[in-house]
Chain A
Amino acid sequence: MSRRVGIVAVAQTEYEEAKPAWREAEITYQIVEKLLEETRLSFAEDGTGIDATVTCSSDHWDGRTLSDIPHGEVSGAHLRAEEKVSSDGINAVIYAYLQILSGHYDVVLAVTTCKESQTVGHIIENLAFDPVYQQKIDLDFLAAAALQANRYIHKYGITPEQCARVVVKNRSNAKNNPVAQLRKPVSMEEVLNSTMLAYPLRSLEAKPVSDGACGLILASEEKAKKLTKKPAWIVGMGQCYESHYLGDRDLAECDTLSLAAKRAYQQAGITNPLRDIDLAEISEYCSYQELLWSEGLGFCEKGEGGKLIDKGVTQIEGKMPVNPSGGVLSGNPTLVAGTTRVAEVALQLMGKAGARQIPKARTGLAHGTYGPCGQHHAVLVLQA
């Protein structure tokens, strides 16, 4: 690899159930404003500014073709380069990373925005399924997740309590995160007695509707060192697609994530993730996913995700804290969730995570996913 790339600044809005006062682009601008202020960068074109912008948003969620027109307008795309990555926001960060590695740019802004509150997510998610077989049976990502949870529980004997423990842990972590949407801790009883949404998933086991945005500035080694004392370096990246048809897959397995992780670990020189990584931020849109994705990431053996949480390994004071920010379950918009994971890991490595800071965090992992039952996974390994 030709050059090193570091994250030099991150910004998040507060994540809220609804932001009726702000249009999508105004939310994006709140991020851009913070990033420019922190880095003192501008959109100058003489080689001293931000060279290009990567946005992540969705025509479907924003209700307009070319949703990046308004987002670009406020993020430096006036007569300049902008590209829209239309998937989970971790891929917008990865895209910016590749742009810098290519040597084409030195400093890139990546920002992801979604306002879930203004539309009906069920209808949009249903449009992600092929229109011949799967769309017609009215699947959305929650219904698909319920199928996956059933299969996972059946195959490996995962218990409702183990799934609920993920929620209790993450919601407890969220109380230390000033931008988290749900900052009130919940008990096991509350989780296990919350409304059934799609068997076996209950309302507290699924992410809430959320509005917000998250952005980062990435820079080449030389520029990064000038922009901040402590960049978070990207040292490993892996992505992987899974087959589309749920019937073609064993939903209790996530070999796709293992492949993505393997690629990232190889680049980062990680041989034993539990030992080599200090913390992880992973995208659990539903409770069981944190357990299953932990298996895919190699934090434990297949089927051992339940035991991992029982042993307290992933607690904030455990050997490998998972989602010290409170995770997606504490409220991140879809698309934004992956960008938030990277931002949170970067904050930890920069020592800027406030009350949720993990002491001596040197290596962190961020994970993002989209599509039914984790059809696309992406992993970034960051180092202080």
Chain B
Amino acid sequence: MANRVAIIGVGQTYHTSKRPDVCIPELCNEAIRAALKDAELTIKDIDAVVTGNMELFEGRYHQDLWQVDYVGSYHKPGFRVTTGGTTGGTLACTAFFCSASGLFDVVMAVTFEKQSEGDSRAGLKTVADPLWDRWISTGAIGTFARLGTWYMKESGATEEHAALVRLKADRNACLNPHAHLKLHLNTVEDVLKSEMLVPPLRRLDMCPTSEGACAIIVASEKKAKKLSRKPVWVKDWVEVHNEMRYNRGDPVSLENLEKAALTIYKRNGITNPRHDISVAEIYEPSTWAELVWYEAFNFCDKGEAYKLIERGATNRDGEFPVNPSGGVIATNPIGATGMIRVAEAALQIRGDAGAHQVDREVKRTFTTAWGGSSWTVAHLLSKTLD
């Protein structure tokens, strides 16, 4: 049984497509200041600082070194952990491991992405094996076009359902002061008007290229009770990685997502996720992914996800709110994205999410990060310790 830890502070920058006014460490500094303020702590209270982002996106080697003087890790212990798109989710786990270890009481984790300072598409293409797969690698857009085509065929869903996912995300994002895309869309037609990238994927089916940073502060059980009025308890976390084979021929790979969710449900007695979880913040890089992930995470039966979105079940005021923050299709500073899910879930549990707070008590949240070859990290947060 793991030692218990809690999230006692969260902070984010606002997210947008370009932040020429700050350098990378300055961007991270904004997030850690926000997290410290939220936790009502100073940097002196922090025992270790862990950092991460997409390693090759901005081209920096050992990025943590340049950040030292800006994220408060000077003369402190720390790690740099990178796992691609899941980095933000993994870094949350890093902070959980560190404070649960008993060696550190209070740990701060900070993640970011500043995509205008690199070439993300080039970075994504080199994920593929240089001998076997790189010549057919297409980055994210091809992957999600294939997912959309596959899902339509499997389930009978239509483009309109994907558009409904964007409409939901946009309504939520417009209420979230940190969100990147706030498009004020009104109808399905507004979404279907957007440019076709690779059929069936339109521009508004995809996440934006965002810049921003996110930080969380995690404390051991004893410290959390002492330091925080509203600690958010970390019940469990799980990471599921996989090998990559573009040429293996599978249309989609959902086994990671399914296993992550199943493991965490089983260990924590969750039999009916829609009932047992109050809010989910999942890493959906595309509208189609949100639909397919609903099924992979067992929020509904296979082939039923589009019906959930059709009847508004996952709206902010629906029976099972998913991504009340606006989610990843509204905001995606990749390295930070997984951690934003955790931070937003913690705010929902505390009741501090502001305009995008869901309209009921949030007892338990399910958050995920996604990346790599469908790698999945999942966390379960809780309002109470037991």
Contacts and interface: CB of A to CB of B under 8 A. Distances in A.
Interface of A: 1-2, 52, 58-60, 63-70, 72-73, 77-87, 91, 94-95, 97-99, 101-104, 124-125, 127-132, 237-245, 248, 256, 259-260, 263, 267, 370-372, 375-376
A86 B81 contact: yes
Contact of A82 (B48, B59, B124, B239): B239
Interface string B28-58: 0000000000000000000011001011110
B78 A81 contact: no
A244 B64 CA distance: 9
Contact of B66 (A1, A52, A103, A244): A244
B97 A102 contact: yes
A12 B261 CA distance: 36
Given A102-B2, A104-B97, A65 B123 contact: yes
Q: Shortest 10 CB-CB distances between A and B: which pairs?
A: A102-B100, A239-B77, A73-B243, A101-B101, A127-B61, A59-B55, A103-B2, A98-B101, A77-B241, A81-B239
Given A65-B127, A85-B79, A243 B241 contact: no
A125 B59 CA distance: 11
A118 to B, nearest CB: 11
A127 B60 CA distance: 5
Contact of A69 (B66, B78, B373): B373
A212 B372 CA distance: 25
Contacts of A85: 79-81
A131 B63 CA distance: 11
26 contacts: A59-B55, A64-B130, A65-B123, A68-B83, A68-B241, A73-B243, A78-B243, A79-B255, A83-B81, A86-B62, A86-B82, A87-B79, A87-B80, A102-B100, A102-B101, A237-B103, A240-B77, A241-B64, A241-B73, A241-B74, A241-B77, A241-B78, A244-B65, A244-B66, A267-B103, A375-B68
Given A102-B2, A102-B101, 10 more contacts: A64-B128, A65-B123, A69-B373, A81-B240, A94-B79, A131-B60, A241-B76, A241-B78, A256-B75, A267-B103
A103 B103 CA distance: 13
A64 B69 CA distance: 28
Contacts of A239: 48, 77-79
B227 interface: no
B100 A240 contact: no
A63 to B, nearest CB: 7
A259 B75 contact: yes
Nearest to B372: A66
A242 B80 CA distance: 15
Interface in B120-163: 123-130
Contact of A83 (B65, B75, B239, B373): B239
* Interface hub of A124, A241, A263 (most chain B Cβ within 10 A): A241
A218 B74 CA distance: 29
A134 B297 CA distance: 47
A64 B54 CA distance: 11
B79 A79 contact: no
Contacts of A127: 59-61
Interface in B77-92: 77-84, 90
Contacts of B74: 241-243
Contacts of A95: 79, 81, 94, 97
Contact of A87 (B54, B62, B94, B100): B62
A100 to B, nearest CB: 8
B242 interface: yes
A73 B90 CA distance: 18
B107 to A, nearest CB: 10
B178 interface: no
Contacts of B98: 98, 102
A60 B90 contact: no
B242 A78 contact: yes
B3 A64 contact: no
A101 B103 contact: yes
A244 B69 contact: yes
Contacts of B84: 65-66
A128 B65 contact: yes
Contacts of A237: 103
* Interface hub of A79, A97, A248 (most chain B Cβ within 10 A): A79
Nearest to B60: A127
Given A64-B127, A66-B84, A98-B101, A80 B241 contact: yes
A132 B244 CA distance: 37
A132 B242 CA distance: 38
B64 A80 contact: no
A65 B244 contact: no
A103 B3 contact: yes
Given A86-B82, A98-B97, A128-B61, A79 B244 contact: no
Contacts of A241: 49, 64-65, 68, 73-78
Given A244-B65, A259-B75, A371-B62, A70 B129 contact: yes
B196 interface: no
B56 A83 contact: no
B111 to A, nearest CB: 13
B106 interface: no
Nearest to A52: B239
B237 to A, nearest CB: 8
A259 B74 CA distance: 11
B287 interface: no
Contacts of A73: 243-244
A285 to B, nearest CB: 14
Given A65-B54, A86-B62, A79 B77 contact: no
Nearest to B64: A87
A132 B23 contact: yes
Contacts of B23: 131-132
B102 interface: yes
A67 B84 CA distance: 9
A98 B124 CA distance: 31
B6 interface: no
A130 B117 CA distance: 13
A79 B256 contact: yes
A60 B68 contact: no
B255 to A, nearest CB: 6
Given A58-B55, A84-B81, A103-B1, A371 B65 contact: yes
Contacts of B100: 101-104
B185 interface: no
B61 A60 contact: yes
Given A69-B244, A84-B82, A241-B73, A59 B101 contact: no
B259 interface: yes
A215 B297 CA distance: 34
Nearest to B55: A59
A124 B65 CA distance: 14
B308 interface: no
